[in-house]
Amino acid sequence: MSIKPMIWDDSVLRMLDQRVLPAKETWLELKTSDEVVNAIKTMAVRGAPAIGVAAAYGMALAAKNGEGREDAGARLTASRPTAVNLFWAIDRIKSLPTWNFDAVLSEARAIEEEDLAMNHAIGRNGADLISEGWNILTVCNTGSLATAGHGTAFGVIHTAHDDGKRIHVYSCETRPRQQGLRLTAWELLREGIPFHSIADGAAASMMRAGKIDCVIAGADRIAANGDSANKIGTYSLAVLAKHHGIPFFIAAPSSTFDLRLASGDLIPIEDRDAAELTHIEGVRVAPEGTQVFNPAFDVTPGDLIDAIITENGVYHRPYAF
Amino acid sequence: MSIKPMIWDDSVLRMLDQRVLPAKETWLELKTSDEVVNAIKTMAVRGAPAIGVAAAYGMALAAKNGEGREDAGARLTASRPTAVNLFWAIDRIKSLPTWNFDAVLSEARAIEEEDLAMNHAIGRNGADLISEGWNILTVCNTGSLATAGHGTAFGVIHTAHDDGKRIHVYSCETRPRQQGLRLTAWELLREGIPFHSIADGAAASMMRAGKIDCVIAGADRIAANGDSANKIGTYSLAVLAKHHGIPFFIAAPSSTFDLRLASGDLIPIEDRDAAELTHIEGVRVAPEGTQVFNPAFDVTPGDLIDAIITENGVYHRPYAF
């Protein structure tokens, strides 16, 4: 039942290809750090904690193949710019006393196991904020696929459901890449959690109609003042939640915090390829010549976030971690 | 250059099939009122003013084919529930003194010509609200395709551009049916108006970054207090515009007003098929078993609308028409 987005298997990183879910369950077999870089860049694996784990195993493959530690670290670091868990995991591996396959693999396994444990703790801490009968709005995919398992925002939903609370989820599609419609729906179906998928633009009128009791999202990087970068559209939901008096929560492990940054204005936001919007399943839907602005993330100011749920507990405004 | 979504051609209503734009320019040849009903239901023609015009020509086909006036009117009335222009056009035809093909066709032509003239007047009235150099956010398609020509919200953009104002448009994709990404982009390219398409979820962060100077949307029905039903996601943009201090405008002809309704709470909102969200280009993207909530429209309260632009002038809060 438990979903894992990647499995270390002898000397190969087996990775569930999230680009083709839910239509196909295809497992990639990655044998070099460059293959891991490519998997992160092309989003075969995505989700801030999951790319941290993938990068750690990428370092293990680099050590195994006799690559230089700095070189492998630099290539993996350059794979995506916004999620800080990626850099955190690479730095952790790089700071090992020796550049040795067994040691690196052991640390990568530890990063994976700790992430899973953190997500269960996040779920436990967050579930106490969720009341019986609530309709919970979420965005993107923050489930097992986005982490080492259980999930962050999804982990809170997961734990509340496991606690026997009657909850119902509204899952935003999350254009352009539709992680909500494709991946979160897939996980919710597997877990047997009741839900409806909605278009991103439908969230506001559902709030106005009193159909949403809280919003919960993940994060790719959290600055020292609580400003949180997450999937494009998250900030929109935070403003809408504020307007409608609905609590807005962020759930993330401590590896997501970047306390060197005073505010979210300093978080680099990745612009992705126009084809993510103009093409679907390889078919062009926009007319030839259409220019696109396609930021992958936005930043929600801490003052719109009612609680930040971590493995260490629940933080409230004003944020000081 | 001028785009027309339908052309009466001898005894046939030729209609540009908007379901396959921009990939294909296919003209349907409609010869019965039932074919018009089907074209409206399946959204071969869409946009509140355009479906009003289509229904009027549907009545002409009914008269030509010897169908009963009440029966044809009832079938066309039942084709879609939210846009009031549809009922307005049918009622106007039904109130003709005789049920006679030449008279009905003449009235349908008048409805079409008046709509085109109203849109030019809307464009003129609205363009005065648009300043040189503005970045204008819009949603769905409100252009020539949605009307008898020139457009409503798009008509304002159109006229401002024709006036020589340096403007730039951000066009929201408008899931689920992507009228912004498919149709508005197609019209903007044809008119040579500079634009970028964006995911619906990206609007908020663009407002926060100061990249949006105003939002302008169409309407499918406007109640006596200014509450305006329009494409799902419009209300979201209105809340976001308010939060960021950005003016939010509605542009619509007087045929869109339903002054019998005291407020927008009384406007029926159409729920459409789940497949609009779960499938794209006929390909399933959501997992089997995904349930969907898919309202086609939302209602923006009048108190979030800074101006309602009509052919008769520009109205401001508090609304009294």
Query: Exposure of A86 by Cβ count < 10 A (0-12 exposed, 13-18 middle, 19+ buried)?
Result: buried
pLDDT at B244: 98
Rg for chain B, CA atoms, rounded: 19
Which one from A9, A71, A128, A220 is the annotated catalytic residue? A220
User: Who contacts B53 (Cβ-Cβ below 8 Å, separation ≥6)?
Assistant: B6, B89, B108, B111, B112, B115, B147, B148
pLDDT tens digits for chain B (321 residues)? 578 999 999 899 999 999 999 999 999 999 999 999 999 999 999 999 999 999 999 999 999 999 999 999 999 999 999 999 999 999 999 999 999 999 999 999 999 999 999 999 999 999 999 999 999 999 999 999 999 999 999 999 999 999 999 999 999 999 999 999 999 999 999 999 999 999 999 999 999 999 999 999 999 999 999 999 999 999 999 999 999 999 999 999 999 999 999 999 999 999 999 999 999 988 999 999 999 999 999 999 999 999 999 999 999 999 998
* Residue B59: strand, helix, or coil: helix
Cβ atoms < 10 Å from Cβ of A103: 15
Min Cα separation A181/chain B (Å): 5
d(CA B131, CA B96): 43
* Residue B250: strand, helix, or coil: strand
Of B229, B214, B318, nearest to B269 by C-alpha is: B229
Instruction: Record the tokens describing residue A194, joined without a space.
Output: 């009741």
E strand or H helix that includes residue A14: strand A12-16
Which one from B220, B227, B258, B306 is the annotated catalytic residue? B220
d(CA A74, CA A97): 18
Which of 221-260 (B) contact A at CB < 8 A?
A: 231-236, 239-240, 242-243
A239 interaction partners in chain B (CB closer than 8 Å): 204, 239-240, 243
* Cβ-contact B85, B184 below 8 angstroms: no
Q: In this complex, is the C-beta atom of B200 within 8 Å of any C-beta atom belonging to chain A?
A: yes
Instruction: Record the tokens describing residue B30, joined without a space.
Output: 């409609």
Q: In this complex, is the C-beta atom of A205 within 8 Å of any C-beta atom belonging to chain B?
A: yes
Backbone dihedral angles phi then psi of residue A216, each to the nearest 5 degrees: -135, 130
Please list the alpha-helical segments (H only) found in chain B.
Answer: 33-41, 48-64, 69-77, 84-94, 101-127, 153-162, 179, 185-191, 203-208, 234-244, 275-278
User: Residue A24: closest CA among chain B residues belongs to which residue?
Assistant: B287
pLDDT at A304: 98
d(CA A165, CA A276): 37
pLDDT at A162: 97
Min Cα separation B30/chain A (Å): 26
Contact B287 A195 (CB under 8 A): no
* Residue B299: strand, helix, or coil: strand
d(CA A122, CA A125): 5
**Which residues in chain A come in under a pLDDT of 70?**
1
Task: For strands B228-231 and B297-300, give the pairing.
Answer: antiparallel
User: Residue B139: closest CA among chain A residues belongs to which residue?
Assistant: A201
Task: Find which of B293, B300, B303 to mutate to test the A interface (most A CBs within 10 Å of its CB).
Answer: B293
Q: Is B220 considered catalytic here?
A: yes
d(CA B221, CA B233): 15
User: Residue B206: closest CA among chain A residues belongs to which residue?
Assistant: A298
B245 interaction partners in chain A (CB closer than 8 Å): none
Min Cα separation A33/chain B (Å): 30
Q: In this complex, is the C-beta atom of B209 within 8 Å of any C-beta atom belonging to chain A?
A: no
User: Who contacts B73 (Cβ-Cβ below 8 Å, separation ≥6)?
Assistant: B59, B90, B93, B94
> Which candidate from A202, A240, A298 shows the least CB-CB separation from B232?
A202
Q: In the structure, how many helices (H) and strands (E) does chain A have?
A: 11, 15
d(CA B160, CA B130): 7
Which of 108-167 (A) contact B at CB < 8 A?
A: 139
d(CA A142, CA A234): 12
B189 interaction partners in chain A (CB closer than 8 Å): 287, 289-290
Instruction: Record the tokens describing residue B143, joined without a space.
Output: 């252009």
CA distances in angstroms from A196 to B70, B173, B292, listed in the order given = 39, 21, 5
Of A147, A146, A143, nearest to A157 by C-alpha is: A143
B193 interaction partners in chain A (CB closer than 8 Å): none
B28 Rama sector, left if φ>0, alpha if ψ -120 to 50, beta otherwise? beta
Q: In this complex, is the C-beta atom of A196 within 8 Å of any C-beta atom belonging to chain B?
A: yes
Task: Find which of A138, A178, A239 to mutate to test the B interface (most B CBs within 10 Å of its CB).
Answer: A239
The β-bridge partners of B230 are B298
Across the beta sheet with A228-231, the strand order is A221-222, A228-231, A297-300
Q: In this complex, is the C-beta atom of B294 within 8 Å of any C-beta atom belonging to chain A?
A: yes
Min Cα separation A255/chain B (Å): 25
In eight-state DSSP terms, residue A17 is -
Domains and CATH numbers, chain B: 6-119 (1.20.120.420), 129-316 (3.40.50.10470)
Which of 272-291 (A) contact B at CB < 8 A?
A: 277-278, 280-281, 283-287, 289-291
